[in-house]
Amino acid sequence: MYHRVLFEADACSVEPGMYITPETVETHLSELNNEFACLTCKESYVWFNNDSLAKNKPKCILTFDDGWCDFYQYVFPLLKKYSIPATVFLPTSFIGTGKVFWTDRIMNIFDTVQGQYSGVKERNIPFSSLITQKVFDFSCTDLKDCYPAIDYLKSYKNNVIEGVLDELETFLDIDSTEDQERVFLTWEEVMEMKESGLVEFGSHTHTHAILTTLNRSEIRYELEKSKEVLCSRGVVDPKFVPFCYPNGNYNDEIAKMVQDAGYSLAVTTRRGWNERKANIFTLNRVGLHNDISSTPSLFLARLAGLL
């Protein structure tokens, strides 16, 4: 399981567990090419159902969450070099837009508060909610407190989070609507990679909402809208659409809703390997990021569960 792919110099405002460098990705692909049979989700579905695939090597699926444009820039050329397939899970309302995740907005807020630390901290600020006040208090202590602030906000719905960030940005005079460098894939890039035969796509919901914070009708919308967009754009085969739970959050009811919405399998962020008898709507993965997998030995140790 991967997220962003960035050079170290470009990753200063990205959580350490959320990125890997292009060099490390190539290290991984080289090792996988030697030791594993790399599959698409669709090929793994066949294996889970009838074990018709070769048994001489352990099997793996390379999955990349969120549809970042750096996948196209850095990973796609490497997939072509090694002839290894990968699956990318897309939050469909972000693809082909200049939007950013709310986690990126909060990083910018923390950077701004740290730059104005003493002046801001001494003010008595009448924020509209205790949630906004708590996030602001996090930001006044240490830049690293953005991570507990992010974890704190993840228990709320996206509209609540957006309201908190809107208020903080207004107070700090941050214009989040100004032109920013694009961070997500375009639909043209998606189709180019699909047509290569090396990149398979799946759903990561429509708005990247954490499903456990939503009611049933909201969950149904996220599942159905994303699938509708992917199918209408020809990005997926309607007969096989894989799914990825945002933030890894799910429960038995949500997993059943994913199945009922017509998805073929679903992956979590729960760490581990999968046996053939696994529930294909709650599949395990192994999270990989640069600080724990930058060498061949670290990478293999991580896959083995030693790190």
| pLDDT (tens digit per residue) in 275-307 | 988 999 999 999 999 999 999 999 999 999 998
Q: What does the buried/exposed string (b/e) look like for 140-164 if buried means 16 or more CB atoms within 10 Å of the residue's CB?
A: beeeebbbebbeebbeeebeebebb
Residues 108 and 127 occupy one common structural domain = yes
Check whether 130 has a pLDDT greater than 60: yes
Query: What is the spatial distance between Cα 304 and Cα 128, in angstroms, rounded to a whole number?
Result: 48
How many angstroms separate the Cα of 118 from the Cα of each of 101, 123, 145, 204?
28, 9, 17, 40
Residues 189 and 150 occupy one common structural domain = no
Domain end (from 138, 172, 206): 172
Residues 192 and 287 occupy one common structural domain = yes
Q: Output the domain CATH number for residue 86.
A: 3.20.20.370
Check whether 141 has a pLDDT greater than 80: no
pLDDT, position 51 = 62
Residues 189 and 231 occupy one common structural domain = yes
Query: What is the spatial distance between Cα 249 and Cα 65, in angstroms, rounded to a whole number?
Result: 14
Compute the chain's Rg from CA coordinates. Answer: 20
Residues 6+ apart with CB under 8 A from 113: 120, 136, 139, 140, 172
**What's the whole-number mean pLDDT along residues 240-263?**
98
Digit-coded pLDDT (tens) for 162-193: 999 999 999 988 887 665 789 999 999 999 99
Residues 12 and 143 occupy one common structural domain = no
Instruction: Using pLDDT thresholds of 50, 70 and 90, give the confidence band for residue 52.
Output: low
Whether 19 maps to a domain, the answer reads yes
Domain end (from 172, 192, 221): 172
Whether 140 maps to a domain, the answer reads yes
Whether 177 maps to a domain, the answer reads no
Closest CA to 275 of 51, 88, 52: 51
Domain end (from 172, 205, 226): 172
Query: What is the spatial distance between Cα 72 and Cα 262, in angstroms, rounded to a whole number?
Result: 28
**Tokens 């600020």 appear where?**
125
Tell me whether residue 179 is exposed, middle or buried, using C-beta atoms within 10 angstroms of its C-beta: 0 to 12, 13 to 18, 19 or more: exposed
Residues 273 and 202 occupy one common structural domain = yes
Total domains in the fold of the chain: 2
Task: Show the domain range for 52.
Answer: 4-98+183-303
Instruction: Using pLDDT thresholds of 50, 70 and 90, give the confidence band for residue 20.
Output: very high
Helix (H/G/I), strand (E/B), else coil: 237: strand
pTM: 0.94
